[in-house]
Amino acid sequence: MRSLRTAALAIFAAVAVAAAAQASEIGHFSPSIANIRDYVVPHPGIYCVWYNNLYSTDQINDENGEEIDEITVGVPPASTTLDLDLDLDIYVTVPGIMWASDWKILGATYAAYCILPLCDTSIGASLATATGTGRSVEQSQFGMSDVFLQPLWLGWSKPNVDLALGYGMYIPIGQYETETVTIPTPTDTLEIKAEASDNIGFGFWTHQVQGACSWYPWADRRMAVATALTWEMHGQKEDFDLTPGQNLTVNWGVSEYLPLGAGKTYMLDVGVLGYDSWQVTDDEGSDARNASVHDEVHAVGGQLGVTYLPWMLGLESRYIQEYAATDRFQGQSLGLNLFLAF
């Protein structure tokens, strides 16, 4: 599922100067959003979901995976060094609707879904030049980010395994603007075209192909060993000569259902999960910075939830910690998801 940029969603666009000067783009897909069992097609019906995710970080890493505390803007001699003090929190709330039909295509159940991410971007960042002057960024904005639509979602179900294959797209309708940032240097001033610090959208289309598998060791499916492989192919970024490199993400998790109470009307869900994401092709275009440097991130966490079976109403919580990252943010996320089946 998306949410949308892990990570959270639109987080890289929030640091306007830093993004223009140092780091590369990241993909739309946010691997910290969905629950462990969400990547395979459910039984026929209509499902309402409401994902909530808070991503926070005070760290952005360089091409060697080391934390960045300063950046250099411009080309010598017209360049300057800025100190970077990052404090970033992104809240994403993602309502969505899923529909699994009775139709069969190649023996698979046909399904589709759409999610509408709403983001609150807030940043407390301070950038100061070596001469004692600089620019600080304090922005907050709430609104719809880029919509994710998956019109093709096929699911094959056997007693001990579910397989799924889907195609979807991120439609860039979220707020996206550019601005000219003026930065004084020891000898002159620099004017840099950068993304607006209160952007919510990414400014480019993404096509996504995703395959998923859940294996159930027992016929009652109380345990699921799940994985999903997501491939992102990005379009050119608006107002820049830049096409972000393609991304490959692996989600994994183990989920165990445990009945609560004698009546078994409640089901506890306990699990471990994580993700590994890599940029697999170079950024392209004259505005690409460090084009051959590929971002990546790795994370692990836990999931705990409960389902009220008579209503098919469930609540899931998750905590995920990113423990290694290259050319991007490294942080943590806290999620709370609600789902209801009709």
User: Bigger pLDDT: 167 or 89?
Assistant: 167
Per DSSP bridges, beta strands 70-75 and 108-115 are unpaired
Domain contains 1: no
Residue 2 lies in a domain: no
Q: For residue 7, is the peptide bond before it cis, meaning its omega torsion is within 30 degrees of 0? A: yes
In this structure, is residue 268 part of a structural domain?
yes
In this structure, is residue 107 part of a structural domain?
A: yes
Distance separating alpha carbons of residues 48 and 116, to the nearest angstrom: 12
Greater pLDDT, 151 or 190:
151
User: pLDDT at residue 185 above 60?
Assistant: yes
Count up the domains in the chain and report the number: 1
Domain extent, residue 270, equals: 12-341
pLDDT band, residue 257 (cuts 50/70/90) = very high
Reported residue count of the chain is 342
With beta carbons less than 8 A apart as the criterion, state whether 332 and 302 touch. Answer: no
* Mean per-residue pLDDT, 229-257: 95
CA distance 157 to 325: 36
Residue 182 placed within a domain:
yes
Q: Is residue 230 part of a domain?
A: yes
* 294 falls within a domain: yes
Q: Please tell me the least confidently modeled range out of 69-73, 237-241, 263-267, 280-284.
A: 69-73
What percent of the chain shows pLDDT beyond 70? 80
Q: 342 or 211, which is more confident? A: 211
Q: Which single residue is written with the structure tokens 């990252």?
A: 325
**Residue 55 Cα distances to 52, 319, 329, angstroms:** 10, 10, 10
Mean predicted confidence (pLDDT) in 172-189: 76
- How does residue 82 score in pLDDT terms, banded at 50, 70 and 90? low
> Cβ contacts of residue 203 below 8 Å, gap of 6+?
13, 172, 176, 195, 237, 238, 239, 240
Would residue 7 count as lying in a domain? no
What pTM was computed for the model? Answer: 0.84
Please write the tens of the pLDDT for every residue from 120-168: 764 332 222 222 223 344 556 788 889 999 999 999 999 999 999 999 9
Check which CATH number belongs to the domain holding 289 and give it.
2.40.128.130
Check residue 53 and give its pLDDT: 92
The structure tokens 């960024």 sit at: 137
pLDDT band with cut points at 50, 70 and 90 for residue 334: very high
Going by C-alpha positions, the residue among 4, 3, 8 that lies closest to residue 320 is 8
Q: Which amino acid, 223?
A: M
User: Of 339 and 59, which is predicted with more confidence?
Assistant: 339
